Amino acid sequence: MRKWIIAAIILVVLAVAGFYAMRMMSPPPADLDVAREKMSAAGKYAVAIEPEAEPIQQGALHGWIVTVKTPDGEPVSDAEITVDGGMPQHGHGMPTAPQSTGHVGEGRYRIEGVRFNMGGWWVLKFAISAPAGSDEAEFNIVL
């Protein structure tokens, strides 16, 4: 009887490990939107992102410039931006806590302290708060 229980436990452990291994190894969805410019989720801002250096180096601490404009193209100079993100297929967040270090002109904001510590599909999420309201924008990055 005990042998069967042990066999069942081993099977479950293998199945769970297999599931996570498959998820970790699977490529990002083929139709993933990797656009670097888009409207925020509620349509309040036009948001664009640009890494400070291309190609993006895996493992290197680097910065991004996020540009925030109104839907009709006026730069938004007084936004508070917070950054979050992670790897949807791995179930983990960012290895660092990227911060907006402020407005650098023309609706552009510098985000410092971004590090992608492995290859694959990453998501960067920006929560934007300005007089026109709060909204967020999410970008997919594949390394």
Alpha-carbon distance of 43 to 111, in angstroms, equals 22
Show contacts with Cu ion in window 60-89 (CB under 5 A): 87
Distances, alpha carbon 13 to alpha carbons 5, 25, 112, in Å: 12, 18, 40
Q: Are 122 and 87 in contact (CB under 8 A)?
A: yes
Closer by beta carbon to Cu ion, 69 or else 90:
90
Give whichever of 10 and 97 is closer to Cu ion, judged by the CB atom.
97
| Among 12-20, 65-73, 99-107, 113-121, the segment contacting Cu ion (CB under 5 A) | 113-121
- Residue 115 lies near Cu ion (rule: CB under 5 A): no
Residue among 36, 69, 90, 115 that touches Cu ion (CB under 5 A) = 90
**Residue closer to Cu ion (CB basis): 27 or 102:** 27
Judged by beta carbon, residue 23 or residue 106, the one nearer Cu ion is 23
Could you give the CA distance from residue 76 to residue 134 in angstroms, rounded to a whole number?
12
Within 8 A by CB and 6+ apart from 85, the residues are: 93, 94, 98, 122, 123, 124, 125
List residues near Cu ion by CB under 5 A: 87, 90, 118
